[in-house]
Chain A
Amino acid sequence: MPEMRDIKTSKEAVEKAKSAQAKQARFGQDIALDSYAQSAESIDYQRDLSQLPQATKERMLEVGVVTDDKVERSGTIVQMDSSVIHSLTKQDDVEVMSTNQAMEKHGWLADYLWKAVSVDSDKYTAHVELHHSNGYFIRSLTGSKSVYPIQACLYLNKKNLAQTVHNIIIAEENSELHIITGCTSGGKNEPGLHLGVSEFYVKKGAKVSFTMIHNWDPQIAVRPRTGIIVEEGGVFISNYVIMKPVQSLQTNPVARCVGENAVVRFNSILVAQPGSSMDVGSQVILDAKGARTEIISRTITTGGTITARGYIEGNAPEVKGHLECRGLILGEKGIIHAIPELKGQIAGIDLSHEAAIGKIAEEEVEYLMMRGLTRDAATATIVRGFLRVDIEGLPDQLNQELRHAVEASEKDLM
């Protein structure tokens, strides 16, 4: 039996979810939820992750989740199908546990459910509410600072399962939290669906970096639903990388800067291989004076379809936002559709965007060849450069890990 969630969700949330059960998402191909299994067998808790099968550990490592030597991680949580099979924190001032456990432990947590994401956004959020599964809860206590990142893994193993997770991340005032989330499936080319709701609360003066690497299989559909609320002086940095095949991915996280001088950065690296369809956006609502944002996406298609959205809304004085979508079409086929949008509703704001889609410039290839690189090596260097996003505010170690993860997948592109 799957681990049942003992969440005292409000009647209101349930009602709202029920009303949205048939509500199609605004973007992305519609998915028939009833064609997937709604539950999975319970999987035993693993005290020692190094005992997992080698193939599983390798898949996890590919998305940045270390199982053998966790020296450089402050905490770990792993959910496989519907079961949280491991959770551990090495710091007293950082909580890492399943959402179910957290709901039992903290009565107040109910106040955080469905506040950053609306339960009736669409049929997928409704489904997560109505089909109780699990998810992770990560919370940094006031003033705490995680030495190393916390790692979270969502692993979809069972064939044809609809994996539903509800994650809550809270950075209390003046704390600093770095999270690596790796989402992956078993590498078996079987159908599956991942529905992940993630709600982030970045309190006054807190800082959260969230680095997410996705590595699915060609028949997996993915519908993450993410909301972020950033209070005064808070910083939220999201890095999202997907370079491996997926059937259909649609996500459009919304970050709201509700406190003065809040900062949000979204960096996305998307590679669509033939057969992959991705509709990925980032939205930032600047609701408080002096709030700032930067949205950067780098997209490459080798034959798949990418819609790269970006939306910045300025509703308060002295806000500043910049949006940059750059796309490369490698190969003969493939579509990139960049949709950068800005909306200003008040004087004295500064919003801008730039978008470019193209091929690799011959002039750049020739320039590198003049220095002795072969045409192939020059092309690879340019692609590597294109995907290299130097992320401000990310610890060096995390920046390096991210770069390695990207470089490891670059080989498939050439």
Chain B
Amino acid sequence: MSGIKENLMEIRGLVVAVGGKEILHGVNLNIHVGETHVLFGPNGSGKSTLLMTMMGSPRYHVTRGSIIFKGKDIVGLPIDERARMGIGMSVQRPPVVRGVKTRDMVAACVGSRQPEESVESMAARADMSDFLDRDINYGFSGGEVKRSELLQLLAQRPDLALLDEPESGVDLVNIALIGKLINDLLQKDHYLRDRNRSGLIITHTGHILEYVSARTGYVLMDGVVVCEGDPKEILETIKKKGYEECRKCAI
């Protein structure tokens, strides 16, 4: 048995424009059920654009290509339908929504499904108990924002979690907790054959890889995937030689 399960997300020849400017120039990507993939790339390479397009933000126009999730092309579907199909996202810099409490957001994530765990218990796991009755993201520190995002995803239980720089702005004490929450979210304690959750993680520093294992890494440069391979190997190369080496690789 190969251990590889069915395709969860398949992106083919994806071209995306924002405000009339093409950002992604034909991206291909495959994520199978239970796998975690990592996306590297310098600032402005299009990493967040890719995640926001997968999530369905209308500002990101798909001009060509397809995004197949659970066998269905989801291009054109609104964000909430994608969320209900099983895609969840941790936003890098989420907005403050005044008067909407963290508790309300967690409740929205649970939706009409039978909750597996109480809001309080999930919040305790994310060290967010004191934030449940605060306005979402209002006055949150970098680490608190990330924990709050992961708390929401724990409640949402998406089949595919898109994590945009989960470690940015997080101090060393918090990063271990962030790592643990991601592992919980992605069922890393399950054997691969029993694991149903998949992830795609954007990382700038690669720090999170010390806590979360990933199967495949990609390097995105100028809107194109220039490299695909073992994430730790890619990270080592980037650390030693910078992204320019990846560009050579593409040539």
Contact with A along B46-72 (1 / 0, CB 8 A): 000000000101100000000000000
- B198 neighbours in A (Cβ, 8 Å): none
A370 touches B100 (CB 8 A): no
- Name the B residues within 8 Å of A378 (CB-CB): 80
From B88, B97, B98, B104, give the contact of A370 (CB < 8 A): B88
Residues of B close to A366: CB separation below 8 A = 57-58, 79
Please choose the segment from B2-10, B18-26, B105-113 that sits at the chain A interface, where 4 or more of its residues have CB less than 8 A away: B105-113
Residues A369 and B83 in contact in the complex (CB < 8 Å), given A361-B95, A375-B78: yes
For A389, list chain B residues within 8 Å (CB): 99
Pick from B55, B80, B108, B152: contact of A375, CB below 8 A.
Answer: B80
Contact with A along B14-50 (1 / 0, CB 8 A): 0000000000000000000000000000000000000
Is the C-beta of B94 less than 8 angstroms from some C-beta in chain A?
A: yes
Considering only CB atoms and an 8 Å cut-off, how many residues of chain B contact the other chain?
25
Report yes or no: A364 in contact with B95, Cβ–Cβ below 8 A.
yes
| Chain A positions within 8 Å of B109 at CB level | 371-372
Q: 0/1 per residue, B109-152, Cβ < 8 Å to A? A: 10100000000000000000000000100000000000000001
B84 on interface, CB distance cutoff 8 Å:
yes
Bound CA span A381–B101, Å: 10
How many pairs of residues, A versus B, come closer than 8 Å at their CB atoms? 64
B-side contacts of A371, CB under 8 Å: 83, 105, 108-109, 152, 156
Interface of B: prevailing SS: mixed
State whether the Cβ of B234 lies closer than 8 Å to any Cβ in chain A: no
What is the CB-to-nearest-CB distance from B205 to chain A, in angstroms, rounded to a whole number? 24
A381: contacting residue among B80, B94, B100, B156, CB under 8 A:
B100
Instruction: Tell me if B226 counts as interface (CB < 8 A to partner A).
Output: no
Question: In the assembled complex, which residues on chain A have CB atoms less than 8 Å from the CB atom of B98?
Answer: 385-386
Residues of A near B105 (CB, < 8 A) are: 368, 371
State whether B84 touches A382 (Cβ < 8 A).
no
In the assembly, what is the distance between CA of A378 and CA of B79, in Å? Answer: 11
**B235 an interface residue at 8 Å Cβ cutoff?**
no
Contacts A372-B156, A381-B104, A381-B108 given; does A367 touch B97 at CB 8 Å = yes
Whether, in the assembled complex, A373 has its beta carbon less than 8 Å from a beta carbon of chain B, the answer is yes
Closest-CB distance, B108 to chain A (whole angstroms): 4
A188 at the interface (CB under 8 A from B): no
Q: Is A367's CB under 8 angstroms from B99's CB? A: no
Residues of B contacting A375 with CB < 8 Å? 78, 80
CB of B89 within 8 Å of the partner chain: yes
Tell whether, in the assembled complex, residue B152 and residue A385 are in contact, meaning their CB atoms are under 8 Å apart.
Answer: no
A71 CB to nearest chain B CB (Å) = 28
Contact A370/B79 with A381-B108, A385-B100 known, Cβ cut-off 8 Å:
yes
A372 touches B80 (CB 8 A): yes
A12 interfacial by beta-carbon distance below 8 Å: no
A contact residues around B91 at 8 Å (CB): 367, 370
- In the assembled complex, how far is the CB of residue B145 from the closest CB belonging to chain A, in whole angstroms? 12
Q: How far is the CB of B159 from chain A (nearest CB, A)?
A: 13
Q: Mark A353-366, 1 if CB is under 8 A from B, else 0.
A: 00000000101101
B89/A369 in contact, CB under 8 A = no
A90 in contact (CB, < 8 A): no
**Are the C-beta atoms of A384 and B99 separated by less than 8 Å?**
yes
**Given A361, A368, A370, A373, which contacts B89 in the complex, CB threshold below 8 Å?**
A370
CA distance A387 to B97 in the complex (A): 12
Given contacts A370-B55, A371-B108, contact A382 B100 (CB under 8 A): yes
Q: Which residues from chain A contact B55 at a C-beta distance below 8 Å?
A: 370
Q: How far is the CB of A351 from chain B (nearest CB, A)?
A: 22
Is A388 in contact with chain B by the CB < 8 A criterion?
A: yes
Of all chain B residues, the one with the shortest Cβ separation from A298 is B99
Residues of A within 8 A of B152 (CB): 371
Q: Given the known A-B contacts A366-B57, A371-B152, A372-B109, are A387 and B99 also in contact in the complex, defined by CB atoms under 8 Å?
A: yes
Chain A residues positioned under 8 Å from B156 (CB to CB): 371-372
* Chain B contacts for A369, CB-based, 8 A: 78-80, 83
Measured CB to CB, the closest approach of chain B to A411, in angstroms, equals 17
Whether B83 and A372, one on each chain, are in contact in the complex, defined by CB atoms closer than 8 angstroms, is yes
Residue of B nearest to A374 (CB): B80
In the bound complex, CA of A385 to CA of B89 (Å): 22
Min Cβ gap B116→A in Å is 16
Q: How far is the CB of B109 from chain A (nearest CB, A)?
A: 5
What CA separation (Å) do A385 and B97 show in the bound complex? 7
Give bound CA distance, A361 to B97, whole Å.
Answer: 9
Q: Identify the closest chain B residue to A386 (Cβ).
A: B99
**Contacting residues, chain A, for B80 (C-beta < 8 A):** 369-370, 372-375, 378
24 A-B contacts (beta carbon < 8 Å): A364-B95, A368-B97, A368-B108, A369-B80, A370-B83, A370-B88, A370-B91, A372-B80, A372-B108, A372-B111, A372-B156, A373-B80, A374-B80, A375-B78, A378-B80, A381-B108, A382-B97, A382-B100, A384-B99, A384-B100, A385-B99, A385-B104, A387-B99, A389-B99
Seen from chain B, the residues whose Cβ lies within 8 Å of a Cβ on chain A are 55, 57-58, 78-80, 83-84, 88-89, 91, 94-95, 97-100, 104-105, 108-109, 111, 135, 152, 156
In addition to A384-B99, A386-B99, 11 A-B residue pairs with Cβ atoms within 8 Å of each other are A361-B95, A363-B95, A366-B58, A370-B83, A370-B89, A372-B156, A374-B80, A375-B80, A378-B80, A385-B98, A386-B98
A interface residues with partner B (beta carbon < 8 Å): 361, 363-364, 366-375, 378, 381-382, 384-389
